[in-house]
Chain A
Amino acid sequence: MGICYKGLTLKEAIDEKESLFEKTGYAYGLKSLELVEQDPAKFMRFQMRLVAACINVREMAKLISANPASLVQGELLFLLANPEGDVTSTSYGLAGHLQSLPYIIRSIADLGFEEDPGINVGDIFETNDALYGAPHNADNYTWVPIYYKGELIGWTVGLNHIVDVGGLQPGGLGTISPNVFTDGFTYPPTKTGTNFKQPRWWELHWKRRTRTEAFNVLDDKMRVAGCVALHDRILEIVEEFGIDYYRKALREIIERERRVLINRIKSQAVPGIYHWLQFTRVSYKGVVGKLFAASNRDWVLHKPGEFHIKSDGSLFMDLEGLSSEGGFHCNGYPAGVRMLTSLGAWPMFAYTSTLNSALMYVEKWNLPPGSMFNPQNPFAATVMSLGEIGGYINMFHNCLSLAFFARGFLEETFPQDGTGVGYGLAGVLKDGFQWAGGDMTLITCWAQGATPYHDGFPAACCQPNPQPDMGETEMGEFLQPTNLNIGKKLVHDYCGHGKYRGGLGIGMCQMIVEPGQSLIMAVFAGAAGMGRGALGMSGGYGGDQDLIVFCHDTNMRQILKEGGSYPTDFTELREWLKQGKLKAGSVERYTSSSPNVLCKDGDLVAMASGARCGWGDVLERDLNRVQEDLHYDWVTPRTARVMYGVVADNKGKVNVAESEKLRKQMRDTRRQRSVDAKDWWKEERQKVMDKGWREDLRNMFADSLKYGKFRREFMGMWQLPDDYAL
């Protein structure tokens, strides 16, 4: 006798859910929506009560948190799932995470939790294990079963992004981790409490296995308090509407919302096949040394995306050709892929006041086994899976933007090539006090990409969190006194250009002050020296890459003693170094994640991210827009001239005649230096025949050529002999 409706076991209930959709094409086989048809207003009222319950609980619980990311930057979510794990309503916040729930519930069903350890009233379960459905171990899930007269009728769930996961590196965004054991504190689904209470041993795990005990304990208290409160609210609603209505309505919510989404796609897009592509890099060579010999190498990661808008309005994403799993930190699992990429679906077509699992029924994915997003090695590291998966959010933005553009819905276009920069740090202060922390400022607030009708707004959006928020320096610095902020600003020229330009990115600059005995920083960045995305929009250029610059052994303290000033972003850092005004013993530059970097007093750290892509041909940019950019110093005169072919006087006043002339010259230059595609093809083909790539690139091609589809395209495009091999 199972715990679900009609005595089904959890596993049977989930199997039934899946087979019903397979057979009928409708969620739960619901060809008709009786409750909706009979009384749409009552149904709406029911649905909105569930949503309100989630939102209210979140507002109540978040204040308990210790962690700025949860409190200010919204890295927190509460939701209600039905017994089968489909989410039926969610609060504000990290909305994407609702996609993970079906995987997590499926996991505990397959693990036989129903018998052992048992699923009872008042039990508290938690996990952060990617193998079982959590995207990565920084995202911790807490869930509580809801029972009504002995029947399991749902789950209340709380999750948030914690500050430190106790990995090889400080913070929650480790960038070096050859296997799951170096990921840090990873726990499979665990019953951490009974009777709505957690025993002390659980708190001890946070104390012993992470660097930020107090934060993590309070976060845990927050998640539990929220789950329990939501549990009670839901039972009230069940009483109000009756269990039969509740049970049936939870399913109709999913199927009705599925139809809403399909409807949006069919009314705004154009069916067909679209392409998206990104390359990134992982550099472990010389960093992990003999300790992890197998991982002591560099990788170029190939991330193709074939995006199908199908005739029935559903979506199919084919990632064949994706690089293989490896001994690095950024493998991921399907749950993580579904979770994070949904963040591209919300703004493009899935925005509704009632987010739920319907999206799971609109998408199909091909994630080849053995590829980095479907690892077959259970010990694959995933601590920063989201960094690599995140790129695919942009596949939704850009492919659908093109589709909406083609259909005439320009206002809905929203190209993005987002990544972000964040860091973890840990140190020992002068008096031997050990501490750690992290920062998400440049991950939780980005610029918009350009659209076909306007420039991207700066500091305006955020893919991971629909409520962008940089947080407050005075709040963050209180937790990281050694990292004194001396700049947080928009950086001129730092964007992708085009007829409409992307929003300017944000630069941060910090001076290390009195770190004491030691301080290490590990900075995550997404771009990696190969650009943000491989494809510009309609002739526009891609957004500028993320940047990290460390200046060690500087004369900063001396400069300040003499009443001097300080550089406020990487461009000033660069100029000061050139002019010799700033002296540095050594300078480290990264466009991808940094290893652990040891910082000393007076060191400078400049980071920048959030620059976004342009749209259209730069030479067609309205002269007035360029003049405005010059006026506000958003772009420099050099860029105006070299990029946009705009001539202006030293006051920034544009000379129209001169500019037209220059633009004509630049078109002539295009004519002169370009060649016919056929000739370019010959040249490029020869390089392919010569195989002159550097090692990491060569490995990438070799790896991807193992996959039939990519091999066909590659061999076909370059007309290579069948025995061509790398």
Chain B
Amino acid sequence: MNVAAIGLDGQEKAPETLVEMCSVRLGEALFGVPITHILEIVGSARPQPVPLAPPFVGGLVHYRGDVLTTVSLRHLLGLPPKDGHQDILVLEGADGCYGLLVDAVGEVLTVSTADHEPNPSILDERRRDVFAGAYKLKDSLLVMLNADRLDPMRLGGAHAA
């Protein structure tokens, strides 16, 4: 019985899957977004500020004939804004595409779902809202971003409320 149970346990661990995450850098920290969520990466853009816009809006960029609203990840995490060029992840939102403004886009990392841990309880409210746990890398953590929570439509609603 015991042996069988262990065997079952072992089998449960076996279907662990490998997923690809796009890593992005914000200051010193490393964050991840599942690459399946990303439509495109726009390098070194300089968003145009929008006066009177909600503070989380990082500005507008020109993207494939359209005007893309961007969300500043720095603002969401309460970091000071960064001057100069930034990279943009184009993500799909409820109201069409939007851009996520990050300092720099890094390499694509392959991680195992087995290494995933949920958000720790000591995390502050602001971060718990947009983080989706973390993957344990060899000598650091890849903090996952919850792409659904970054949608400007949702942020706009939260902002208004």
A and B co-occur in one complex? no
